[in-house]
Amino acid sequence: MSFAALVTGAARALWQGASLGIQYNPVFGIAGAVIAAALLGYPRAPRERRFWAGAIIAIAWLAGDGLMILGRTREVVDGVGAFAHVTPAWVAYVLVAGWALVSLGLGYLVPAWAGITVGRRVTHGTGWLAAMAIAVGASLAISTLVASLGALG
């Protein structure tokens, strides 16, 4: 197999994975981002809360999208299911990895990061509340943008 074919196959798999990843579960995305933003979204948030915020986002992602992606990964390992037709086999792994990274990043981490960043900039008392509001707003904005792009295609 030539280098150009390898690059083309990897690019196509990443594109397909990204297109699956933008179809994340917005309910769990909002819930995870809001809780993580509330934990870390004020100027004097203790460093110990980073672990808990990360754990909340991980649990929300697993409940919303992660278990489905892990199930598809198991199907890829077994050579059955939706991605069984993808050849060579490594392309299916690239597809699933792209799907997981885009859904985690776009649906869960970006809204939480936006909320945390804004909440830490609030100087008088309600940073955690501002962080939660921005996390909800960012999640809804991303979900609306993704839905409108889906309607175009």
Residues 31-73 pLDDT 10s: 999 999 999 998 888 989 999 999 999 999 999 999 999 998 8
* Rounded mean pLDDT, 14-20: 90
Q: Is there a domain that residue 40 lies in? A: yes
Q: Is there a domain that residue 11 lies in? A: no
- Average pLDDT over the chain reads 89
Q: Is there a domain that residue 30 lies in? A: yes
> What is the pLDDT, as a whole number, of residue 89?
78
Give CA–CA dist 68/83, Å, rounded: 13
Give the rounded percent of residues in the chain with a pLDDT score beyond 90: 58
The residue among 52 and 3 whose pLDDT is bigger is 52
> What is the pLDDT, as a whole number, of residue 78?
84
Lowest mean pLDDT among 91-100, 101-110, 122-131, 136-145: 122-131
Q: Is there a domain that residue 6 lies in? A: no
> What is the pLDDT, as a whole number, of residue 3?
81
Q: Is there a domain that residue 101 lies in? A: yes
The residue among 83 and 26 whose pLDDT is bigger is 26
Q: Is there a domain that residue 107 lies in? A: yes
Cα torsion 21, 27, 30, 34: sign: negative
CB 85, CB 6: distance < 8 Å: no
Question: Per the structure, how many domains does the chain have?
Answer: 1
> What is the pLDDT, as a whole number, of residue 1?
67
Give CA–CA dist 102/104, Å, rounded: 5
Q: Is there a domain that residue 20 lies in? A: no
Q: Is there a domain that residue 9 lies in? A: no
Give CA–CA dist 70/27, Å, rounded: 19
Give CA–CA dist 32/111, Å, rounded: 9
Structural domain of 110 = 25-146
